[in-house]
């Protein structure tokens, strides 16, 4: 215990006094165009979090609306702080513990990057904050899987632990320059804006958590209807707008690749939304607003890993396939009877996997030529890349599932994660926040 404390103290002292290493890029001039777009993107990605709050908030019953919105807002507080303290360092530092995650003492508390300019001409603060927004929205996405039945306190601890032990390592593997998935195959596993890191990890973790916690009272026999689809639609709209920052910002530049990502994003969202209501038209006879919103999300999720490498026709097809697969996934969920309340897995898990694998077939030729050039054998086929993509997806699925189960099991020993029955009946708003979302609205 004593030596442990000493060691922690020594590490703290080292990191406080450590001379900040000279960064080669310190004298790089700021590219004001790229920086301006990255600042905008950072704000756009943050806008997705209240967008998600509205999307989820409208889908639950009126007694849980504030509690559900607070799941997203709490993430903005908790993860921002964690990101500043250790998250950025764990994600984008250099390999430690055999590459399990990264660490860089200059990134600890963000105290050594005050004057850093990245090679792309963007101040490192902007990059840090941009990436931090991704770290915020990912655990907030999981909340959809166990909506309406989780204790607020346990949720806060869960997302903090999840962010540290699931998000940061995955982010490091996929996006850090020395991450092992970043360097897989000829030109790395393709995850442009977070198909594996954000959507597959959140979706799979959501599925595990939904099954581990069990279903809501009365599910599936009691009809549980959305309290306000109007705010759900507004939330879906904000998500679509914010996604331009999410995808087009992930080029960390303001140029051609930004334009390519932006175009792919718009087209996939639109084609998926249309596909969803066409399927519904045939299957149920009516095109629902919630279906359109679900389609938007399915398309955006699927194009997230792909936006940097696919051309518009590829985005169009990815959107169509994403809606078909996510729609099927939700039908399967209804058959199996597990309670993924707001389809975090059905949309983000399935859509993310679909995008990460399907993108292989639509990669623009110039990328494949570069990959062939980088490959030691001088050739690189889509089947080689599909193998790399499948491995990255497999790693994300397995790691997220196992770690989520471990974290839930451990946390449940300390505090009860699932709401007490009386609290669930009274609603999260009253039980955990002492407030009500609406004035006099009939119970739903």
| Beta carbon of residue 67, minimum distance to another protein (angstroms, whole number) | 14
Please, which residue, 98 or 443, has the CB nearer to another protein?
443
Residues that bind another protein (CB under 8 A): 217-218, 422, 425-427, 430, 434, 436, 440-443
Signed CA dihedral, 395, 340, 61, 410: sign only:
negative
Other beta carbons within 10 angstroms of residue 330's beta carbon come to: 16
DSSP string, 239-258: HHHHHHHHHHGGGSSSSHHH
Backbone torsions φ then ψ of 95, nearest 5 degrees: -50, 130
| Beta carbon of residue 66, minimum distance to another protein (angstroms, whole number) | 14
Please, which residue, 218 or 373, has the CB nearer to another protein?
218
Please, which residue, 414 or 422, has the CB nearer to another protein?
422
CB 296 within 8 A of CB 322: no
Cα 286-239-434 angle, rounded to 5 deg? 95
Please, which residue, 150 or 392, has the CB nearer to another protein?
150
- H helices of 151-288, in order, are 152-162, 168-175, 201-213, 229-248, 256-283
CB 322 within 8 A of CB 299: yes
- Residue whose pair of structure tokens reads 């997220």 in the numeric block: 400
Which DSSP state fits 121? S
Burial of 391 (C-beta count, 10 Å sphere; 0-12/13-18/19+): middle
- Residue whose pair of structure tokens reads 């921002």 in the numeric block: 80
| Beta carbon of residue 442, minimum distance to another protein (angstroms, whole number) | 5
| Beta carbon of residue 215, minimum distance to another protein (angstroms, whole number) | 15
- Residue whose pair of structure tokens reads 């959107």 in the numeric block: 319
Please, which residue, 418 or 430, has the CB nearer to another protein?
430
Please, which residue, 111 or 430, has the CB nearer to another protein?
430
| Beta carbon of residue 440, minimum distance to another protein (angstroms, whole number) | 6
Please, which residue, 123 or 427, has the CB nearer to another protein?
427
| Beta carbon of residue 80, minimum distance to another protein (angstroms, whole number) | 24
| Beta carbon of residue 429, minimum distance to another protein (angstroms, whole number) | 11
């Amino acid at each position: 215990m004593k030596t442990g404390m000493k060691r922690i103290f020594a590490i703290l002292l080292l990191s406080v006094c450590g001379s900040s290493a000279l960064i080669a890029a310190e004298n790089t001039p700021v590219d004001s165009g790229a920086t301006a777009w990255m600042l905008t993107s950072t704000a756009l990605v943050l806008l997705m979090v209240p967008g998600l709050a509205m999307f989820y908030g409208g889908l639950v019953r009126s007694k849980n609306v504030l509690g559900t919105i607070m799941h997203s807002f709490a993430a903005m507080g908790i993860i921002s702080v964690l990101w500043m303290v250790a998250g950025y360092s764990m994600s984008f530092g250099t390999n430690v513990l055999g590459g399990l995650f990264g660490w860089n003492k200059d990134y600890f508390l963000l105290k050594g990057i005050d004057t850093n300019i990245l090679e792309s001409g963007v101040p490192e603060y902007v990059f840090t904050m941009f990436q931090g927004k991704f770290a915020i929205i990912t655990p907030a996405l999981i909340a959809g899987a166990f909506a309406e039945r989780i204790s607020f306190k346990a949720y806060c601890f869960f997302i903090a632990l999840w962010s540290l032990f699931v998000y940061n390592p995955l982010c490091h593997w996929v996006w850090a320059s020395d991450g092992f998935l970043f360097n897989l195959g000829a030109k790395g596993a393709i995850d442009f804006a977070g198909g594996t890191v954000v959507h597959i990890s959140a979706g799979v973790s959501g599925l595990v958590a939904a099954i581990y916690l069990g279903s809501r009272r009365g599910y599936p026999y009691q009809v549980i209807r959305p309290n306000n689809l109007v705010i759900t639609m507004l939330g879906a709209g904000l998500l679509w707008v914010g996604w331009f920052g999410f995808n087009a910002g992930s080029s960390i530049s303001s140029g051609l690749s930004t334009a390519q990502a932006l175009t792919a994003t718009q087209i996939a969202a639109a084609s998926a939304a249309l596909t969803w209501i066409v399927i519904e038209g045939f299957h149920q006879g009516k095109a629902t607003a919630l279906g359109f919103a679900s389609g938007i999300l399915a398309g955006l999720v699927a194009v997230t890993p792909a936006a940097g490498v696919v051309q518009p026709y590829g985005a169009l097809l990815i959107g169509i396939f994403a809606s078909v697969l996510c729609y099927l996934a939700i039908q399967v969920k209804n058959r199996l009877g597990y309670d993924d309340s707001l389809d975090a897995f059905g949309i983000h898990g399935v859509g993310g996997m679909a995008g990460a694998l399907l993108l292989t077939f639509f990669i623009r030729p110039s990328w494949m030529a570069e990959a062939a050039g980088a490959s030691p054998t001088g050739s690189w086929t889509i089947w080689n890349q599909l193998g790399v993509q499948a491995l990255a997806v497999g790693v994300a699925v397995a790691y997220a599932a196992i770690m989520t189960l471990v974290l839930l099991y451990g946390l449940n020993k300390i505090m009860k994660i699932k709401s007490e029955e009386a609290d669930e009946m009274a609603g999260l708003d009253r039980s955990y926040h002492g407030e009500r979302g609406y004035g006099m609205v009939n119970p739903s």
